[in-house]
Structure 1
Amino acid sequence: MTKSKVYFTDFKANVGDSHLMKLARLVKQAGIETIDMKDKYVAIKIHFGEPGNLAFLRPNYAKTIVDIIKDNGGKPYLTDCNTLYVGGRKNALDHIESAYTNGYSPFSTGCHILIGDGLKGADESIIPINQECVKEAKIGRAVMDSDIFISLTHFKGHESTGFGGALKNIGMGCGSRAGKFEMHSNGKPVVDEEVCKSCGMCIKQCAHDALHFNENKKAHIDVNKCAGCGRCIGACGFDAISTMDWEANDILNKKIAEYTLAVVDNKPCFHISIVCDVSPCCDCHSENDIPIIADVGMFASFDPVALDQACADACLKSPIIDGSVLSHKEHHHHDPFKDTHPDTNWEVCVEHAEKIGLGTREYEIVVVK
C-alpha cells in the first residue's frame, strides 16, 4: 500500500513567525486549498472543552483555518455534538455557552457555531455502514449536511481509548447522543426512578413502544421491546436514563473507527492535529492535569489513520514531563498512553480503521518549516 503523506511542523518560532503562521503554512502545503470550497458549507469539527478545563485548543487555531476557508470561498462553521454525560455540553444551549466561556465565538473565530445534533442531541442522520460492530451510525445532522469536513483535533490522552486523536474527535465527537450511547454501550438503557421527573419526553421519542409509565408514574423500559437505539437518552433532559452495561475499551475503539467511516465516506475531508498540552485525560473533564509529555508540534493529512499513527509515534519519542502522573508510573509498555491507562490499547482503533478502508498506518513525514 502506498504511504500517506503526513505534514509536520514543530513549535519553534523565530521572531516575526508565530505558531499560527506556521499552522497556515502547514495546512496549505498539505493541500487544504486543493479542495474546491467555493460556496460550500465547511464543517470544522472541534472540541470546545468542558468549562474548567484549560487544555483544549485555543480558538486562535480555529480562526487560522476559518480564514483560509473563507479566502477560498467556503462557508465555514465550528461544530461538535452534545455529550452523553452530565456537564456543560449536553444540550445545544449549554454547549454554545460553554464554547463562549472558553473563548469560541463568531468574534474570536470568524464563524458561527452549530451544534451537530441539535438542541437536545436527537437531531441525527442515520448512516448505513454495515460494519463489524455498527450497522447504522447515528451522526449529528449538521455534520452530515456539510459539503466538506475538516477535523481540528487536540491530541491528548484518554482514559478509555488510550489517546484522543483525529479518529476519536470524528467518530465519537460526531455521534449524536444516541450514537454515543451505542459506542459506549453493548446493552440497553435503564431508568433511574429517583431522577425521573415523569415528563414523558422519552415515551414520545420511542419508536418501539418500549417505554411507559409504571405504577409509580415513572418511566419504565420494556427490555423485550427496546431496540437499544438510545434516543430516549437524548430525549431525557434530566439524565434519568443511562446504561448499566458499558462497552469494553477495544470494542469502543472499533466502534469509533466505524463511526468515523460514516462521517468521512464520500465527502472531501482534511485533518489537522495539534500535539500540545498532552493531558492524561480527555478535554471532556472539567479539569486537566499537567501534560504527560513535552509538546510535539502540528500535523496535517488527508488520511486520518496515518495522522493518528504519526502523532502517536511522535508522542512515543517525546520526553516525559517530570511531576506528571506518568512520571510516577512504571513504564511497562514504553508508551505514554498505555502506561498512563494500562487498560487501554489505542492501536485497536487505528488497526481497525485501516482494516475498514479509512486509510493506512504507513506514512511519510513531510517537514514544513
Structure 2
Amino acid sequence: MEKSKVYYSDLRARPGTNLPKKLQKLIKAAGIGNIDFEKKMAAIKIHFGEPGNLSFLRPNYAKAVADVVKELGGRPFLTDCNTLYVGRRKDALEHLSAAYENGFNILSTGCHIIIGDGLKGTDEVSVPVEGGELVKEAKIGRAVMDADVFISLSHFKGHEATGFGGCLKNIGMGCGSRAGKMEQHNSGKPTVDQKKCVGCGCCARNCAHSAISFTDKKASIDHSKCVGCGRCLGACNFDAVYNTNESAVKELDMKIAEYTKAVVDGRPCFHINLVIDVSPYCDCHAENDLPILPDVGMFASFDPVALDQACADACNAQQPIPGSLLDERMHAHGFCDHHDHFTNTTPESEWKVCLEHAEKLGLGSREYELIEIK
C-alpha cells in the first residue's frame, strides 16, 4: 500500500517572503488545487482561541488559506462549534465576540465567520458513522455539514485529556455540537484525591455544570451533574483531580476518530497543521503556558491520520524547552520516562489510540512520506 504524502515547510522566512506566503506555497504544493472549489462553499475549521490565551493561530494564517480558496473559485468561511464548558465560546454571541477580540473578522481574514452549531449550540445534524463502534450517529454542527468542501486548519499542541490536539481533535471534537461534545466526553468522570486537594477552587471555577463543591476546603465532584469534559483535570495544579475510569481516555480518543469520520466522509477535504507554540494544554484555556517544545513547522495533507502522525513524530524528535511543564515533569521525583513528549507531559493520555482507531475506520494511514517544500 502506497504511503500517504505529508508536505512540510520549516519556519524560515528569508527576505522576500513571509510565513503566510510560505503556507500558501505549501498547501498548493500539497495539492489543494486538485479540489473543485468553483462556486463551492468551503468550511475552514479553526479554533478562535479562548480570550486570555495567546497561543492560538493568528488570523493571518486563516487569511492565507481563505485567499487560496477564493483564488481557486471557492467561497470560504471560518467556523467552529460552541463549547461544552464554562468560558467565552459557549454560545454564538459570546463565541463571535471572542473571535473578534482575538482578531478574527472579515477584514483580517477575508471571509465571514459562522458558528457551526448555531446560537445556543443546538443547531446540529445527526450523521451516520460508518464502522463506528461507540458512536452510530454523530451530532455535528449544521453549518459544518452544509459546506461543500471541508478544510481543517489546526494548531498542533498538547492537550490535557488526549495528549495532543491536532487535526483529528480539531475536527472530531471541534465540529461536534454541544450535545456531540457531551457524547464524546461522557465515558468517564473524574474524582478528587482528598489528600492532594488544597481547596484552591480552580476546578470549580472551570466547571460549567456546578458539579464541584467543597467540604472542609476539600473538593468533591457530583457525578450526577458532571458530564466528563475534563476541564477540572487540566485546571488542577496539584494533580488532585484524576480519572477513575481507565477506559475513559481511550473511549474519548475513539469517539473523536468516529466524529471525524462523520465530518469528512463523502466530500472533498484538505488538512493543515501548524506546529508552533506547542503549549501543554488546549487553546480552550483562558491562558497559555510556556511551550513544551520548540516550533517545528507547517504540515499539510489530504490524509488527516498521516498528518497527525507526522506532526507527533516531528515533535518527539525535539528537545523539551527548559522550564516548561514537560521539563518540570521530567525532573520530578519518581519520573517514569515514556519516551514520548506528550505522554510524559500528560501520563494518563492515550493519543496513539485515536490514530489507530482512525486508521481502522479508513480515515487514513499512519504510514507516510514526508515531502519538504522549501
TM-score bucket (shorter structure): 0.7 to 0.9
% of aligned pairs identical? 64
Alpha-carbon distance in structure 2 between the residues aligned to 1:177 and 1:95: 13
Aligned match of 1:272: 272
Partner amino acid, structure 2, of 1:53? N
Partner amino acid, structure 2, of 1:174? C
Pair 1:270–1:118, CA change in 2 (3 A): same
Give per-residue Cα distances to partners, 1:123-151, cap 9 Å, x unaligned.
00001115111011000000000000000
Partner amino acid, structure 2, of 1:101? E
Partner amino acid, structure 2, of 1:69? V
Give per-residue Cα distances to partners, 1:158-211, cap 9 Å, x unaligned.
0000000000000000000000000000389xx97999xxxxxxxxxxxxxxxx
Partner amino acid, structure 1, of 2:278? V
Aligned match of 2:70: 70
Alpha-carbon distance in structure 1 between the residues aligned to 2:305 and 2:161: 19
The secondary structure found in structure 2 opposite 1:329 is: helix
Pair 1:192–1:101, CA change in 2 (3 A): closer
Greater alpha carbon shift after TM alignment, 319-328 vs 305-314? 319-328
The secondary structure found in structure 1 opposite 2:151 is: strand
Alpha-carbon distance in structure 1 between the residues aligned to 2:297 and 2:252: 28
Aligned match of 2:54: 54
Which of 349, 353, 361 is the matching residue for 1:356?
A: 361
Partner amino acid, structure 1, of 2:114? L
Alpha-carbon distance in structure 2 between the residues aligned to 1:128 and 1:21: 38
Alpha-carbon distance in structure 1 between the residues aligned to 2:151 and 2:211: 42
State the TM-score, normalizing by the size of structure 1.
Answer: 0.84
Is the 1:134–1:258 Cα contact (8 Å) retained in structure 2? yes
4+ residue stretches of structure 1 with deviation over 4 A?
Answer: 191-195, 244-247
Alpha-carbon distance in structure 2 between the residues aligned to 1:64 and 1:129: 32
5 Å-filtered alignment, 1:188-199, equals: none
Is the 2:188–2:249 Cα contact (8 Å) retained in structure 1? no
Pair 1:335–1:115, CA change in 2 (3 A): same
Pair 1:270–1:194, CA change in 2 (3 A): closer
The alignment's C-alpha RMSD in Å is 2.2
Alpha-carbon distance in structure 2 between the residues aligned to 1:345 and 1:180: 18
The secondary structure found in structure 2 opposite 1:289 is: coil
Aligned match of 1:173: 174
Pair 1:18–1:193, CA change in 2 (3 A): closer
Aligned match of 2:217: none
The secondary structure found in structure 2 opposite 1:73 is: coil
Is the 1:149–1:270 Cα contact (8 Å) retained in structure 2? yes
The secondary structure found in structure 1 opposite 2:69 is: helix
Alpha-carbon distance in structure 2 between the residues aligned to 1:150 and 1:250: 26
The secondary structure found in structure 2 opposite 1:352 is: helix
Alpha-carbon distance in structure 2 between the residues aligned to 1:194 and 1:285: 19
Alpha-carbon distance in structure 1 between the residues aligned to 2:129 and 2:309: 24
Alpha-carbon distance in structure 2 between the residues aligned to 1:103 and 1:89: 15
Alpha-carbon distance in structure 2 between the residues aligned to 1:250 and 1:103: 35
Residue 140 in structure 1 maps to residue 141 in structure 2? yes
Give per-residue Cα distances to partners, 1:64-104, cap 9 Å, x unaligned.
00100111110000000000001000000000000000000
Shift of residue 20, structure 1, vs aligned partner: 1.1
Shift of residue 245, structure 1, vs aligned partner: 9.6
The secondary structure found in structure 2 opposite 1:256 is: helix
Aligned match of 2:348: 343
Residue 152 in structure 1 maps to residue 148 in structure 2? no
Aligned match of 1:112: 112
The secondary structure found in structure 1 opposite 2:6 is: strand
The secondary structure found in structure 2 opposite 1:24 is: helix
Pair 1:129–1:14, CA change in 2 (3 A): same
Shift of residue 12, structure 1, vs aligned partner: 1.1
Aligned match of 1:311: 311
Shift of residue 329, structure 1, vs aligned partner: 1.7
5 Å-filtered alignment, 1:155-304, equals: 155-186=156-187, 248-304=248-304
5 Å-filtered alignment, 1:89-128, equals: 89-128=89-128
Aligned match of 2:219: none
Shift of residue 15, structure 1, vs aligned partner: 1.1
Alpha-carbon distance in structure 2 between the residues aligned to 1:124 and 1:328: 42
Pair 1:193–1:4, CA change in 2 (3 A): closer
Q: How many correspondences in the alignment?
A: 322
Is the 2:66–2:76 Cα contact (8 Å) retained in structure 1? yes
Partner amino acid, structure 2, of 1:263? V
List runs of 5+ in structure 2 lacking aligned partners.
190-207, 213-223, 228-242, 331-335
Shift of residue 13, structure 1, vs aligned partner: 1.6
Is the 1:185–1:245 Cα contact (8 Å) retained in structure 2? no
Pair 1:70–1:319, CA change in 2 (3 A): same
List runs of 5+ in structure 1 lacking aligned partners.
196-221, 223-227, 229-243
Pair 1:126–1:36, CA change in 2 (3 A): same
Is the 1:54–1:288 Cα contact (8 Å) retained in structure 2? yes
Is the 2:187–2:252 Cα contact (8 Å) retained in structure 1? no
Alpha-carbon distance in structure 2 between the residues aligned to 1:255 and 1:186: 10
Partner amino acid, structure 2, of 1:163? F
